[in-house]
C-alpha cells in the first residue's frame, strides 16, 4: 500500500510540475486573436486576417512584430482546427494533454479529483487548475485519486501509465522503459489524391491555355494553418468536381519557380485561381477573401471561362456565327445568365467550336420551333458547311461532373461529324492547305481570282469589319455547296464560280466602274461579275446565306439581267 501511495504522489507531483512548465509557455489563442470562446469560425478568420495584416513582417518593422505575428499564426492554427480547438477548450492544450486548462472536470473526462479517507468517512470533491489543496479527514490520513473519464478496468485508480504517457507525449507506451511516439509533424499539408503537385513543366503542359479553371495554392515550411486551408480547398473542389481542378506548388523545392510566378507564400497561406476572365490565354488571380467554402467556391465560379457569347435569339444572325470556319453551338435555356456547365464547356472546347447561348422563356416560342427544338434546355449545332443539327433537348443535369462528361462526349461526336463533312470534295475557292478562304481582291491577284476564264466572279464589297465578317462567313458556306444550272445547262455541265472580297473604302474607283455612285448607300454589296463579257449584276437587299444562294442560283440559271460596266474595273 505504501508503494502504491508513493507512486501516486510521484505521478501527481510530476503532473503538477509539468503543468507549471506549460503555463510558463502556453498562450491563450482566444486572447491572442481577441475573440470570445464561443466565437464562430468566420469571426476567428476575420480576427486572424486583420491581425496578420497588422503585424506582417513585410508591413510592420516595429520591435516584437515578428513574435506577435508568430503568436497570431499559432493561435489561428489551433482555433481553425476543430480537433485542436476542442482539445484546448477541454485541456488547455491543442494536443489533448489531460488535466489542464478550462473546462476540465472529473465528470467530463480530463478532470481530476481527490478524496480524504479517515474514520470510515469519505468525501469527494472536484477541483481544477489552481485549486491544489488537501482536506483533513478524521484520522488525519490523506490519499489522492485521479479520474480521466476512461474505464478503469482492474486499476483502482482509473488510469495506467500507458494512458498518461500517451496523452503527454502523443504516442503509445511501449513498456520496458521506452516511449513510443510520432515523429515531428511535416511542414507541408496532408497529402490528398485530389490535389496534384504542380511544377514548372506540368503548369505549362496541363494548366496554361488548356481551358480548365485551376485552384492553386503554394506551400512552404514556414506556413501555419495549412491543414485548414487544404481542407477548405478540397471541399470546394469536391463540390465543383468536373469544372475545377486543384494543384499544390511546393515552394520549398520550387523556390525560384514560385518567385517567378509571384506566388511565394512567405508566412501566410495564399490561394490563386487560373482564370480566363481577363485574358483568353488565362492568368493567375489571387483570392483575398475569407478561408471559407462558400466564399471561395463563389470566387472560383466567378472565374470560370466565358467564351460563350450571350445573344438575343430573335436578333441573332446565324449566317455570321461561323467565325474562323469553326462549327457553331447554341445553348437554349431559361437561365438569365450563362449556365456554369456551358461556361466550362466553352473553355474546354473553345478551339473547336464557336459558342453562343440565349435565354428563352418557353419551348413553344416560334423561334425555337423553327430550329426544331421541342424541349428545354437544348443544344443546337451548325456544321462548318451550314448544316443544322439538334444535338440534345430536355437536358437533365444530375450532378456537375456527370453532366460535363456526358456533354463533352456529345460535342466530341459533333466535331467528328464536322471533320467528316469537311473531308468531302471541296470547292475551287479552297486553298491548297485545305482551309476555306475568301481572298481579298487587289491588283496583284485580280487576274488569278477573277480572270477572263472564270465565267462568274461573286464579289462581296464591305465598308466595315462587321460587314466583312458577315460576307466572309456567308461566302465561305455558300462556296462549299455545288450550284449548277437547272434548266438551261447542257447535261453534265456545271458553271464555275469564284468568290472574293473587296474593301469598298479603299477601292472606290473599282466600284465606280459598276455604279457611278459606287453603291455608297450600302454597307455591304454582292456583285456577280462576268469579266470576259464586261457585265455585272448587283444584289443590294438583305444578305443572308439563303438569299445569297438564291441570288447565285438565279445568276447561273440566267434569271438575272446583267448590265454593262461603266468602265473597266481597275484595282489598286
The pLDDT of residue 95: 65
For β-strands 271-275 and 213-219, DSSP reports them as antiparallel
CB 397, CB 433: distance < 8 Å: no
φ/ψ of residue 552, rounded to 5 = -65, -35
pTM for the whole structure: 0.47
Lowest-confidence range among 35-39, 425-429, 500-504? Answer: 425-429
Answer whether residue 190 is part of any domain. Answer: no
- CATH code, domain with 224: 3.40.30.10
Q: What is the DSSP letter of 488?
A: S
In order of 111, 112, 154, 155, 174, the CA distances from 151 in angstroms are 14, 14, 9, 9, 20
> Minimum mean pLDDT among 136-150, 302-316, 521-535: which range?
136-150
Residue 441, in any domain of the structure? no
Domain boundary among 406, 422, 438: 422
483, three cell numbers = 450550284
Domain of 340 in residue numbering reads as 309-422
Q: Based on the domain organization, do 19 and 167 belong to the same domain?
A: yes
Last residue within a domain, chosen from 233, 267, 302: 302
Residues written for the chain: 572
Q: What is the pLDDT of residues 425-461, one digit of tens each?
A: 433 333 333 344 688 888 878 888 888 888 999 999 9
The C-alpha atoms of residue 465 and residue 572 are separated, in whole angstroms, by 20
Q: What is the pLDDT of residue 6?
A: 63
1-28 tens-digit pLDDT? 566 666 666 656 665 555 555 444 457 9
Residue 331 is assigned to a structural domain of this protein:
yes
pLDDT beyond 70 at 481: no
Do 472 and 372 lie in a common domain?
A: no
Q: How many helices (H) and strands (E) does the chain have?
A: 17, 20
Answer whether residue 217 is part of any domain. Answer: yes
Residue 176 has pLDDT above 60, yes or no: no
> What's residue 15's pLDDT?
58
Query: How far is the CA of 367 from the CAs of 124, 300, 363, 384, in angstroms?
Result: 85, 34, 9, 22
Q: Within 10 Å of residue 516's Cβ, how many Cβ atoms?
A: 10
Q: What is the DSSP string of 502-556?
A: EETTT-HHHHHTT-TTTTTT-SEEEEEEETTTTEEEEE-S---HHHHHHHHHHHH
In a domain, 437, yes or no: no
**CATH number, residue 97:** 1.10.287.110
Predicted confidence (pLDDT) at residue 386 exceeds the cutoff of 60: yes
Q: What is the pLDDT of residue 438?
A: 84
Overall number of domains in the chain: 4
pLDDT recorded at residue 227: 83
Q: Is the per-residue pLDDT at 98 higher than 50?
A: no
Amino acid at each position: 500500500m505504501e508503494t502504491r501511495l508513493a507512486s501516486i504522489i510521484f505521478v501527481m507531483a510530476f503532473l503538477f510540475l509539468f503543468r507549471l512548465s506549460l503555463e510558463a509557455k502556453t498562450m491563450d489563442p482566444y486572447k491572442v486573436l481577441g475573440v470570445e470562446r464561443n466565437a464562430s469560425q468566420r469571426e476567428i478568420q476575420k480576427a486572424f486576417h486583420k491581425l496578420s495584416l497588422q503585424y506582417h513582417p513585410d508591413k510592420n518593422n516595429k520591435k516584437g512584430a515578428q513574435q506577435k505575428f508568430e503568436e497570431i499564426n499559432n493561435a489561428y492554427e489551433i482555433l481553425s482546427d476543430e480537433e485542436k480547438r476542442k482539445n484546448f477548450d477541454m485541456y488547455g492544450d491543442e494536443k489533448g494533454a489531460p488535466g489542464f486548462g478550462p473546462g476540465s472536470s472529473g465528470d467530463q473526462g480530463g478532470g481530476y479529483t481527490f478524496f480524504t479517507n479517515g474514520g470510515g468517512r469519505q468525501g469527494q470533491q472536484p477541483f481544477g487548475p489552481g485549486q491544489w489543496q488537501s482536506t483533513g479527514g478524521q484520522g488525519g490520513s490523506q490519499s489522492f485519486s485521479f479520474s480521466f473519464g476512461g474505464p478503469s478496468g482492474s486499476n483502482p485508480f482509473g488510469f495506467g501509465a500507458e494512458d498518461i504517457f500517451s496523452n503527454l507525449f502523443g504516442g503509445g507506451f511501449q513498456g520496458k522503459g521506452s516511449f513510443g511516439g510520432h515523429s515531428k509533424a511535416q511542414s507541408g499539408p496532408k497529402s490528398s489524391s485530389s490535389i496534384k503537385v504542380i511544377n514548372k513543366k506540368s503548369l505549362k503542359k496541363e494548366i496554361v491555355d488548356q481551358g480548365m479553371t485551376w485552384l492553386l495554392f503554394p506551400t512552404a515550411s514556414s506556413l501555419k494553418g495549412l491543414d485548414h486551408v487544404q481542407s477548405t480547398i478540397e471541399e470546394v473542389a469536391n463540390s465543383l468536381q468536373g469544372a475545377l481542378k486543384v494543384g499544390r506548388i511546393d515552394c520549398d523545392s520550387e523556390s525560384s519557380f514560385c518567385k517567378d510566378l509571384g506566388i511565394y507564400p512567405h508566412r501566410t497561406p495564399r490561394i490563386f485561381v487560373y482564370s480566363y476572365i481577363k485574358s483568353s490565354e488565362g492568368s493567375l488571380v489571387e483570392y483575398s477573401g475569407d478561408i471559407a467554402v462558400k466564399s471561395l467556391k463563389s470566387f472560383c465560379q466567378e472565374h470560370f471561362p466565358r467564351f460563350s457569347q450571350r445573344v438575343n435569339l430573335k436578333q441573332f444572325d446565324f449566317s455570321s456565327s461561323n467565325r474562323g470556319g469553326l462549327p457553331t453551338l447554341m445553348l437554349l435555356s431559361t437561365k438569365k445568365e450563362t449556365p456554369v456547365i456551358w461556361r466550362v464547356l466553352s473553355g474546354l472546347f473553345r478551339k473547336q467550336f464557336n459558342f453562343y447561348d440565349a435565354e428563352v422563356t418557353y419551348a413553344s416560342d416560334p423561334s425555337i420551333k423553327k430550329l426544331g427544338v421541342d424541349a428545354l434546355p437544348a443544344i443546337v449545332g451548325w456544321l462548318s458547311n451550314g448544316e443544322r443539327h439538334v444535338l440534345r433537348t430536355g437536358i437533365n443535369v444530375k450532378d456537375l461532373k456527370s453532366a460535363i462528361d456526358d456533354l463533352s462526349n456529345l460535342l466530341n461526336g459533333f466535331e467528328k461529324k464536322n471533320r467528316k463533312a469537311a473531308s468531302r470534295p471541296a470547292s475551287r475557292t479552297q486553298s491548297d492547305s485545305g482551309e476555306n478562304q475568301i481572298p481579298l481582291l487587289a491588283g496583284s491577284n485580280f487576274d488569278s481570282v477573277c480572270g477572263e476564264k472564270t465565267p462568274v466572279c461573286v464579289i462581296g464589297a464591305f465598308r466595315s469589319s462587321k460587314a466583312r465578317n458577315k460576307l466572309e462567313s456567308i461566302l465561305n458556306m455558300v462556296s462549299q455547296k455545288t450550284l449548277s444550272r437547272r434548266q438551261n445547262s447542257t447535261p453534265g455541265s456545271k458553271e464555275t464560280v469564284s468568290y472574293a472580297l473587296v474593301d469598298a473604302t479603299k477601292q472606290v474607283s473599282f466600284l465606280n466602274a459598276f455604279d457611278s455612285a459606287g453603291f455608297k448607300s450600302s454597307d455591304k454589296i454582292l456583285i456577280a461579275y462576268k469579266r470576259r463579257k464586261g457585265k455585272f449584276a448587283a444584289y443590294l437587299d438583305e444578305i443572308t446565306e439563303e438569299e445569297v444562294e438564291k441570288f447565285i442560283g438565279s445568276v447561273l440559271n440566267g434569271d438575272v439581267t446583267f448590265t454593262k460596266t461603266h468602265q473597266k474595273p481597275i484595282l489598286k
